[in-house]
Homo-oligomer: A and B are copies of this chain.
Amino acid sequence: MPFAEALFEDVRKRTADTVGVSREPYGTGEQTAVDAVARAGGELGLEIKHDPFGNVYLTMPGRDRSAPGWITGSHVDSVPLGGNFDGFAGVVAGLTALAAFRKAGLAPQFDVTVMGIRAEEASSWYGGAHDGHIGSRAALGLLPTAELDSAVQSRTGTSLREQMRKAGFDPDAVGRGKPYLDPARYCGYLELHIEQGPVLEARGFPVGVVTGIRGATRARSCQCIGSYTHSGAVPHEYRSDAVMAVVELVRELDLEWERVREDGGDLVFTVGKLYTDAKVHALTKVPGEANFVLDFRSQDDAILQQVRVAAERLALEIGQRRRVRFDLGSFSLHRPAAMDPEFRRTLLSGCQDLGIRAMEIPSGAGHDAQDFAHAGFRSAMIFVRNSHGSHNPDEAMAIGDFAFGTRLLAWKLLQGA
């Protein structure tokens, strides 16, 4: 695939960091990627548009321009020191499909627009209160204006609003008038993305058809407060041991997770941070404080609700019994996004027609596709097998697997919804 490989390599080189690539949202790296995408689109003779938020749109006109067209793409930014394929593969796949149409002299029945989306990885660069996915949510009318000020560049302290303006875009257009992207004008959104987990690789499938994108309910700053005291001199009944209480809470939630799996429910549960206070803790002190986080993800709203309630109930019960006070803080809630059932079905049958071995798979990570689904677009995702996970410079996608995924995408883009 010389077209795709050249585009991957061009952008990789020009956004390379000490290791991997860095394409900061509304920064130099992201702009470099957008420019390369626009240039490639120009060379293919596509119509080029930009929205006020810096997203780029490259359209190949369909034979019937009045009918709703396809939108496909993914994000062009990356995490710091990330891999070259996370996000960018979806944009390259769309352009590669259009290049193939051009080469074969095919005109699709409906308009096909490849979208290069900004700032999907904003959570890795901006602190403060925001939910990431800035580019897609801005274009879809899902970005609350408050996030423009509450999202703050972690390194510089610059607000997202200021940073967007500096980059030459119009933050004041956020939430103004109708959304830039109107679901009525599109037959659907398709996104190809590398799988960010190990499932396709472990099970030997080059391609996955995504069933849905897990939502998440999270508590970012949980605390358990007990009392520091002498580890030898204080018997069990006089302790307020924060670690033992958190351990019991997390273990009970782990067992709850096991029950959900046994019932066939979709759930992952992670305690990514758990720590006693390094300034105070000691081998010979009963710990008086423990800090932790909770991250539950599921395709099923009801399961997210169930585990959140379980966490709160257990914290109360264990706290009283163990003479400690739990403060779980508030739980954020990101709703799951189901992929369009009809799209999923046709993509699977496409795999059969094209001889591509594929499996159905949930997406545990968030993607722009979830925002399109929440905005009322019929949406689907194609996962491509990838080694070493994602959000690191070691991600590894074989170009052959990318070709399978791109072929499936192109096949679908040639159809109406």
Contacts and interface: CB of A to CB of B under 8 A. Distances in A.
Interface of A: 195-199, 202, 214, 216, 218, 220, 229-236, 238, 241, 243-244, 247-248, 250-251, 254, 257, 261, 268, 270-276, 278, 281-287, 290, 293, 295, 297, 363-366, 389-391
A220 B231 CA distance: 14
Contacts of A281: 272-273, 275
Contacts of A274: 243, 247, 274-276, 287, 290
Contact of A390 (B230, B247, B273, B287): B230
A53 B170 CA distance: 77
A239 to B, nearest CB: 8
A274 B241 CA distance: 12
Contacts of A295: 231-232, 283-284
B230 A365 contact: yes
Given A247-B247, A250-B243, A233 B197 contact: yes
A133 to B, nearest CB: 14
Contacts of A268: 231-232, 234-236
Contact of A270 (B231, B278, B390): B231
10 contacts: A220-B283, A230-B364, A231-B272, A231-B297, A232-B363, A232-B364, A234-B364, A235-B364, A236-B268, A272-B276
A176 to B, nearest CB: 32
A364 B233 contact: yes
B272 A235 contact: no
A218 to B, nearest CB: 7
A361 to B, nearest CB: 10
A243 B230 contact: no
Contacts of A363: 232-233
Contact of A199 (B235, B250, B287): B235
Given A202-B238, A281-B272, A197 B254 contact: no
Contacts of A283: 218, 220, 272-273, 293, 295
A364 B235 CA distance: 8
Contacts of A290: 274
Given A198-B234, A247-B274, A270-B285, 7 more contacts: A202-B238, A244-B250, A244-B254, A247-B250, A273-B283, A274-B287, A283-B295
Interface centre among A235, A241, A272, A391 (most CB of B within 10 A): A272
Contacts of A272: 231, 243, 276, 281-287
Contact of A236 (B261, B389, B391): B261
A232 B250 contact: no
A365 to B, nearest CB: 5
Contacts of A230: 196-197, 364-365, 389-391
A195 B247 contact: no
Contacts of A285: 270, 272
Contacts of A202: 238
Name the residue among A216, A220, A244, A363 with the largest chain B CB count within 10 angstroms: A244
